[in-house]
Amino acid sequence: MGYPMAGHLAKAGHGVTVYNRTASKAAAWVREHGGRCASSVKEAVSGAEFVFACVGADKDVAEICLGADGAFGAMDAGSVFTDHTTASADCAREMAAAAAECGVGFLDAPVSGGQAGAENGALTIMVGGDQAIYDKTEPVMQAYAKMVRLLGPVGAGQTAKMVNQVCIAGVVQGLSEALHLAMSAGLDAKAVVDVISKGAAQSWQMENRAETMIDGKFDYGFAVDWMRKDLAIVLAEANNLGISLPLTALVDQFYSDVQAMGGGRHDTSSLIRRFRD
């Protein structure tokens, strides 16, 4: 995700320094886009007005932000760290507090839109943080976004991303069951989708994944392993709030079945494998 996002920043005329824990990826980016690559987080953030990160999970965010070699201690006072990782709201609040101690602004800003959205500069960005910090950073994020919105204080972006993932999980499960019904009944499933996608059943998942689901192709972006990571965050937050999310819990278990079938790196539409394999 970060590779094309950084590319859009370079195309927009920003001076970009990139860092990746796999150095060859950063070097490849520089060959394609110019700019420069750094050998450490500290080197990458030194002198930067804006720092953007997109890593895996809470522990990865903490690893790149904190400690003697972390970003916060090396960033200039008044600069802004924007975290595009899908992490927990608690992580966002902890990082914001640590950043503030160093005089650094912090935004939690998870994204939706997948690899295609990143490549096309059409991501949706859900942001939590201070209004003034957001106002300063939002024009820069527009380089790779079709929608950017501040939704509340730090943690609100991550909570909104949880809402996003609940919606996706439910829709993919419903689409999987619908396609299974169509194929089991001997219908031309692609023809059925062509018809019902013009009515109330239409969804992004139907428009973009139904045909590949029918064809049994699951190499189109966001992986099951990552969805399970995200749903674990969702279910933990629901527990903290004292609320029940029964459909989300059920679909999470269905995704565990896909992992057991060897589909951890398949995209999330592979839920249909539970019915068809």
Could you give the CA distance from residue 171 to residue 76 in angstroms, rounded to a whole number? 44
Could you give the CA distance from residue 181 to residue 30 in angstroms, rounded to a whole number? 48
Could you give the CA distance from residue 176 to residue 169 in angstroms, rounded to a whole number? 11
- List the catalytic residues: 161
Beta-sheet pairing, 105-108 with 80-83 = parallel
How many other β-carbons are positioned within 10 Å of the β-carbon of residue 183? 16
Cβ neighbours of residue 230 closer than 8 Å, sequence gap 6 or more: 86, 161, 162, 165
Residue 21 contacts residue 56 (beta carbons within 8 Å)? no
Both tokens assigned to 2: 């970060």
Residue 58 contacts residue 91 (beta carbons within 8 Å)? yes
